[in-house]
Amino acid sequence: MLTERHLEIFVALAEEEHFGAAAQRVGITQPPLSQGLRRLEALLGVRLFDRDRGVALTDEGALLLPHARRALAALARLREIGAREQADGRRLRLGFAPEVPAALAAAVAAAPGRGGERPRLAVSTAPTTTLLSDLSAGRLDVAVVRHPAVLDGLAAGEVVLVPTWVLSPDAPRGGSAPRLPVAVRPREEAPAAHDLFVDTLASRGRAVETVVISDERAGLALVAAGQAVLVTADRTLAAAGVARRPADDPALPLRLRVVWDPRGPAAEQTAATARLLVDALAREAAL
């Protein structure tokens, strides 16, 4: 999928004509810049730079450059409009990681409207890595993400621990339950949080086998079919043939943080709104 980041890398490299300078301009190191360029070229099916002549645009690259500049300018304009709407109190773009239970997300989203004018909300759900990228790019104002995560200049509230439950197939009569894999979301959605979870299980002396699921409904289906166990913060997740018990391991809560970008055009208002969400998240998680 073609992203704004691909275009930023391409334009920076075309204008700087140097990999190191382009990487510094877009705020990354050279390896991910080179990787981003290769992905863009693969998506378009053309070479954009002639590496044999330093960093020189090919004919295809020269054709793309004005279009890429216009696209980035249009996206910047959209962000400016969104920032003005937020500054005027008209809109709050809020993101949640998919692991946040629906009731908890709803309570947090309602917090800015308590005791005052209700902002117009634009709410989305996306993996933690996507939410962090959208915050940095100005596409979101505030997000609730899994912890730990690399914040790269973003501001964050305190880590909030949300209790979890272990869902497993009902034990068979007259026999012991088999050791089943743990259903987990893809690692790339929240690498640090995923690794902490798996490492915690492994540190308890059990061999950890995992099965990747697209969402917790798919995980619940596997549990009901007797093929996996699932650790969830959603207290409403249930099905026939599925047993529920509290995750008694103190290292297995869902760790969440409210994150925002302190460098945006409405930074002061965003920070004030984020603090409301931080307080709401901590309050609701403790219920």
Domains 4-82 and 164-252 share a fold: no
Separation CA 146–CA 129 (nearest Å)? 9
Distances from the Cα of 256 to the Cαs of 8, 93, 144, 150, 285, in angstroms? Answer: 30, 18, 6, 13, 10
Where in the chain are the domains?
Answer: 4-82, 89-161+255-285, 164-252
Instruction: List pLDDT tens digits, range 61-112.
Output: 999 999 999 999 888 877 776 666 555 555 789 999 999 999 999 999 999 8
What is the mean pLDDT of the segment spanning 31-44? Answer: 90
Separation CA 28–CA 25 (nearest Å)? 8
In sequence order, the 6+-apart residues with CB closer than 8 A to the CB of 102 are 234, 236
Residue 101, helix vs strand vs coil: coil
> pTM for the complete prediction?
0.70
Separation CA 114–CA 91 (nearest Å)? 15
CATH of span 89-161+255-285:
3.40.190.10
pLDDT surpasses 90 at 140 = yes
Give every strand in the sheet of 230-232, ordered side by side: 230-232, 165-169, 242-246
Structure tokens at 223: 């549990």
φ, ψ at 99 (rounded to 5°): -75, -15
Instruction: List pLDDT tens digits, range 146-169.
Output: 999 999 889 999 999 999 999 999
Separation CA 53–CA 23 (nearest Å)? 19
What is the mean pLDDT of the segment spanning 176-194? Answer: 89
Instruction: List pLDDT tens digits, range 41-69.
Output: 998 999 999 877 678 899 999 999 999 99
pLDDT of residue 186: 94
pLDDT surpasses 60 at 219 = yes
Fold of 4-82: Arc Repressor Mutant, subunit A (1.10.10)
| Structure confidence at residue 137 as a pLDDT band (50, 70, 90) | confident
Separation CA 145–CA 130 (nearest Å)? 10
| Structure confidence at residue 15 as a pLDDT band (50, 70, 90) | very high
In sequence order, the 6+-apart residues with CB closer than 8 A to the CB of 124 are 93, 94, 95, 96, 140
Fold of 164-252: D-Maltodextrin-Binding Protein; domain 2 (3.40.190)
| Structure confidence at residue 283 as a pLDDT band (50, 70, 90) | very high
- Taking all residues of the chain, what is their mean pLDDT, rounded to a whole number? 88
- Kindly state the helix (H) or strand (E) to which residue 260 belongs, with its residue range: strand 254-260
pLDDT of residue 194: 94
In sequence order, the 6+-apart residues with CB closer than 8 A to the CB of 57 are 14, 48, 49, 50, 65
Percent of the chain with pLDDT over 70: 91
pLDDT of residue 12: 93
